[in-house]
Amino acid sequence: MTDPPSTGSTPPPAEGAPSVPPAAAPAPPTHVQPPPAYNPGSVPPYGGQPNPGQPYAAAPPPAYGPPAGGAVPGKTLGIVAFVLSVLFFQLIALILGIVALVQSKKAGAKNGFALAAIIISSVTMVLGLIFFAIFVAVILPTLAMGAEELYSFCLANGPGVYETNGIEIDCYEILDQ
Nearby residues of 73 by Cβ (< 8 Å), 6 or more positions away = 103, 104, 106, 107, 109
| Region class of 58: left (phi > 0), else alpha (psi between -120 and 50), else beta | beta
- pLDDT tens sequence across 146-168: 788 888 888 888 888 888 777 78
- pLDDT tens sequence across 43-88: 555 655 555 555 666 777 777 765 556 677 888 999 999 999 988 8
Longest dimension (CA), the chain: 160
* pLDDT for position 52: 57
pTM: 0.46
- pLDDT tens sequence across 86-113: 888 999 999 999 999 999 999 888 999 9
- pLDDT tens sequence across 2-19: 655 555 555 666 666 566
Contact 90, 121 (CB under 8 A): yes
